[in-house]
Amino acid sequence: MSSASAVDLAIRCYPAWWRERYGEEVRTISGDLTADGRSPAIVTLSLLQGAVRARSRAQGMPKLYDLWSARTRVSIAAATLPWMLVAPFLLMAMGTQSLHSTKGPVYFSGSSFTMTHLQIAGAPPTPAPPLTPAGSVVPFASLAVGVLFLVTLAVLACGWTGLTGAIRRSATPHRRRVWLLAWAPGFALLADVALVVALIQVRPAGYHMTGGGPMVPIGGHPFAAHVLGTVLGVVAIGGWLASIVCVAVAAKRADIAPSDLRFGKSVSIATTTLFALMLGAYTTWGIGLYVQARQATGGNFTTVAYSHQDLWIPMVLLVTAAVVLSGFSSRAARRSWVVLSTDIL
């Protein structure tokens, strides 16, 4: 790639208003600097850093409603979409819980997070050793992650209904198309429900164990159930990802009213806050698991294990990056809203 095309590419990373105002000037001066002996790579790097700053701070952006409204909408989308991308995988990365002791597998009755009435299986069952102090924290942290997931989902559902309603009331060009795009999560959910219902209809009622041989399905259509199960997995994950893209595109294109933008800004701040709390709970969960395993080695304790606890470190890094992005974006949404409401409206 030539130095001129690298500079052009870097300039294309700036927002449109900035390119219109400074683009040609910066291209000329970058040419002067490289002709003067400055490394093209350093010039390009400086422009890329400047592009990030111009996008994140919007300093010098003309005080026009369309520009600041678009910035607010994009910031709201950028604050909420990282949660949508990462949070379901965080739940999957926790896996399922199991309890172990040196005397055998442990079961509990009572609620799943207080883990009372620990017993070792057998006839008759015998009381199991207690959880370690850190082990007692783990189920609460796990519960907190689940509750925060559901609360954030409810907040985002409110935000989504606000977005679809705002698009319906707006004078957005191609309003119907944008509204349909915003409805993508609803369509994806409907497709998932339809596939689950179909799967229930065709799956075998049970399996008959033959002596040492393969399991024989009882009734239903095993092949159709297998195909539908695969399709359901693809549609669930694909629909979720497609929904994220469609909602982002709809949010960028929709020309929505200031009151709806204010609501969206509040949703983005709430999402970031809940997301940060979720990261805190997930981090506590992982530390609790690590500490209780060390505590358990010295005494007779029941330890808590999760099927995917080895994914904790990569997930903490991924979620931290997503929370930081969400935090910067919700701050940008709040600041853009302040400019809109105080300087423009």
Partner 1 sequence: MVLTSLSGGPKHGYAVIKDIETMSGVTFGPGTLYGVLARLEEEGLVESLPSEDHRRPYRLTGAGAAVLRERLEANVKVADIGFRRLGALGA
- Minimum distance between the CB of residue 22 and partner 1, rounded to whole angstroms? 5
Rounded (5°) CA angle 14-50-48 = 75
- Minimum distance between the CB of residue 5 and partner 1, rounded to whole angstroms? 16
Which positions ≥6 away from 323 have C-beta within 8 Å?
Answer: 82, 272, 275, 276, 279
Burial 35-47 (b: 16+ CB within 10 A, else e): eeeeebeebbeeb
Six-digit token string for 297: 């080695």
Nearer to partner 1, 26 or 106 (CB): 26
Nearer to partner 1, 24 or 66 (CB): 24
DSSP labels for 172-236?
-TTHHHHHHHHTHHHHHHHHHHHHHHHHHHHS-SEEEPPSSS--EEESS-HHHHHHHHHHHHHHH
Using DSSP's 3-state secondary structure scheme, residue 8 falls into helix
Six-digit token string for 318: 């991924």
- Minimum distance between the CB of residue 59 and partner 1, rounded to whole angstroms? 4
Six-digit token string for 258: 């200031």
Query: Site residues (CB under 8 A) for partner 1?
Result: 10, 18, 21-22, 24-30, 32-33, 42-43, 45-51, 53-54, 59-60
Nearer to partner 1, 46 or 320 (CB): 46
DSSP labels for 26-86?
HHHHHHHHHHTT--HHHHHHHHHHHHHHHHHH-TT----HHHHHHHHHHHHHHHHHHHHHH
The Cα–Cα gap between 303 and 111 comes to 17
The Cα–Cα gap between 29 and 311 comes to 48
The Cα–Cα gap between 235 and 105 comes to 37
Nearer to partner 1, 33 or 236 (CB): 33
- Minimum distance between the CB of residue 6 and partner 1, rounded to whole angstroms? 13
Nearer to partner 1, 55 or 175 (CB): 55
Which positions ≥6 away from 31 have C-beta within 8 Å?
Answer: 4, 7
Nearer to partner 1, 60 or 127 (CB): 60
Nearer to partner 1, 51 or 304 (CB): 51
- Minimum distance between the CB of residue 257 and partner 1, rounded to whole angstroms? 27
Nearer to partner 1, 19 or 262 (CB): 19
Nearer to partner 1, 47 or 333 (CB): 47
Cα distances from 265 to residues 84, 190, 245, in angstroms, run: 17, 28, 19
CB-based contact 192:235 (threshold 8 Å): yes
- Minimum distance between the CB of residue 72 and partner 1, rounded to whole angstroms? 18
- Minimum distance between the CB of residue 26 and partner 1, rounded to whole angstroms? 5
Maximum distance among all alpha carbons in the chain? 87
- Minimum distance between the CB of residue 76 and partner 1, rounded to whole angstroms? 23
- Minimum distance between the CB of residue 61 and partner 1, rounded to whole angstroms? 8
